[in-house]
């Protein structure tokens, strides 16, 4: 049976808004309304506190780890309108190496691009703007480009997987955003105008209330893309695009009955976790025929098994899933390189 790997008091003085594991699943960053970020070593049975990051003047909404090929970098965004990129020093402490202070309202979301495309960070703000921060090795500095995405405010941002072979960089990526206007949008880099522009055709309507999170499915091929979105209307929607210039459309919609705050893909893209309501998480699995089904619900007490299936329709149909830890996000299960976290196969096998 699936069980809690570790539970500990993060010692924040206010609610925790985000928790993200690093690439190896050995360190955990927690972001809190007490304006601080705390780093933990979770590679042992008893998590150990490493350091506290103090640099924001308001609640910290989200944190994101960069790929280790760029060093130990952590990004954070806050109600104080700032984005800070932190770099680990030789003594193990984290120090700010870049501050972005151009937004006019709370910065609600941040995410790094896939490592093969370079060191890029996308951020979304309540001022309606999305900023893309890019590190330029030739100048040893950061540059930013911003664009208007959702006039009512941006709640969630994310990068696509690399769109194809060729030169790495922003032209090989799309950005997905979710806003207070209830829209999900996809943006591409315009080579001629050197700015971000909406893709054509535009994204269809799907949600009725604020979109709270969006996530591009890992492992999407250059011809098939999938995005998960969730909103305060209680809906989780999986959107699919069969070819680069075709229309996006919903392939699965699930009404959870309470506001859904976060969606997170597993590394292989075969599992999706959605966090909703009060401390609840639901898992969805892709079947062999390409459809999606609800696997189970999880709360603070552990796993709630779904009702038994009808005779002849076993829950185990199509459960041959490659090993791989869940991605970061509210699920708290991260990519593993030594720490003993359950794999997708471990999770699914507990329901057979």
User: Tokens 């970020």, residue?
Assistant: 37
Q: In what order do the strands lie in the sheet with 16-21?
A: 16-21, 27-32, 36-41, 48-54
Chain segment 6-28, per-residue pLDDT in tens? 788 899 999 999 999 999 999 99
| More confident of the two residues 255 and 318 | 255
Helices then strands, counting H and E runs in the chain, come out as 1, 25
- Alpha-carbon span 183 to 122, nearest angstrom: 18
**Is residue 188 situated within a structural domain?**
yes
Domain with 91 in it: what CATH number? 2.130.10.10
**Is residue 9 situated within a structural domain?**
no
* pLDDT at residue 295 greater than cutoff 90: no
* pLDDT at residue 305 greater than cutoff 50: no
41-63 b/e (C-beta count within 10 Å ≥ 16 → b): ebbeeebeebbebebbeebbbbb
**Is residue 85 situated within a structural domain?**
yes
**Is residue 302 situated within a structural domain?**
yes
pLDDT band at 229 (very low <50, low <70, confident <90, very high): very high
* pLDDT at residue 309 greater than cutoff 60: no
Count of domains in the chain? 1
Q: Lowest-pLDDT range, 54-68, 152-166, 202-216?
A: 152-166
**Is residue 7 situated within a structural domain?**
no
The per-residue pLDDT for 201 is 77
**Is residue 6 situated within a structural domain?**
no
Range of the domain at 294: 16-349
**Is residue 267 situated within a structural domain?**
yes
| More confident of the two residues 307 and 85 | 85
pLDDT band at 172 (very low <50, low <70, confident <90, very high): confident
| More confident of the two residues 107 and 337 | 107
**Is residue 151 situated within a structural domain?**
yes
């Amino acid at each position: 049976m699936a069980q809690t790997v570790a539970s500990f008091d993060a010692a924040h003085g206010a609610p925790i808004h985000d928790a993200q594991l690093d690439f190896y699943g050995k360190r955990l960053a927690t972001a809190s309304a007490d304006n601080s970020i705390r780093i933990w070593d979770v590679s042992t049975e008893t998590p150990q506190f490493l350091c506290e990051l103090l640099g924001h003047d308001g609640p910290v909404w989200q944190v994101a780890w960069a790929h280790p090929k760029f060093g130990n970098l952590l990004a954070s965004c806050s109600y104080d309108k700032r984005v800070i990129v932190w770099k680990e020093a030789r003594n193990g402490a984290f120090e700010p190496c870049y501050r972005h202070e151009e937004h006019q309202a709370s910065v609600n979301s941040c995410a790094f691009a896939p490592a093969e495309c370079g060191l890029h960070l996308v951020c979304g703000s309540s001022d309606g703007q999305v900023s893309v921060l890019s590190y330029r090795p030739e100048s040893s500095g950061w540059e930013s480009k911003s664009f208007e995405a959702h006039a009512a405010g941006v709640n969630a941002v994310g990068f696509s997987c690399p769109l194809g072979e060729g030169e790495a960089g922003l032209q090989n990526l799309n950005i997905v955003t979710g806003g207070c206007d209830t829209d999900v949008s996809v943006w591409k880099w315009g080579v001629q105008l050197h700015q971000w522009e909406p893709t054509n055709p535009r994204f269809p309507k799907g949600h009725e209330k604020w979109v709270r999170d969006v996530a591009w499915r890992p492992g999407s091929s250059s011809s098939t893309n999938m995005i998960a979105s969730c909103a305060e209307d209680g809906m989780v929607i999986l959107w699919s695009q069969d070819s680069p210039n075709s229309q996006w459309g919903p392939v699965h919609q699930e009404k959870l009955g309470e506001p859904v705050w976060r969606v997170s893909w597993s590394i292989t893209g075969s599992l999706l976790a959605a966090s909703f309501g009060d401390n609840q998480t639901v898992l969805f699995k892709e079947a062999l025929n390409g459809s999606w089904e609800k696997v189970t619900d999880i709360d603070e007490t552990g796993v709630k098994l779904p009702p038994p299936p009808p005779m002849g329709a076993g829950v185990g149909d199509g459960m041959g899933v490659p090993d791989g830890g869940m991605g970061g996000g509210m699920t708290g299960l991260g990519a593993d390189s030594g720490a003993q976290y359950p794999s997708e196969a471990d999770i699914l096998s507990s329901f057979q």
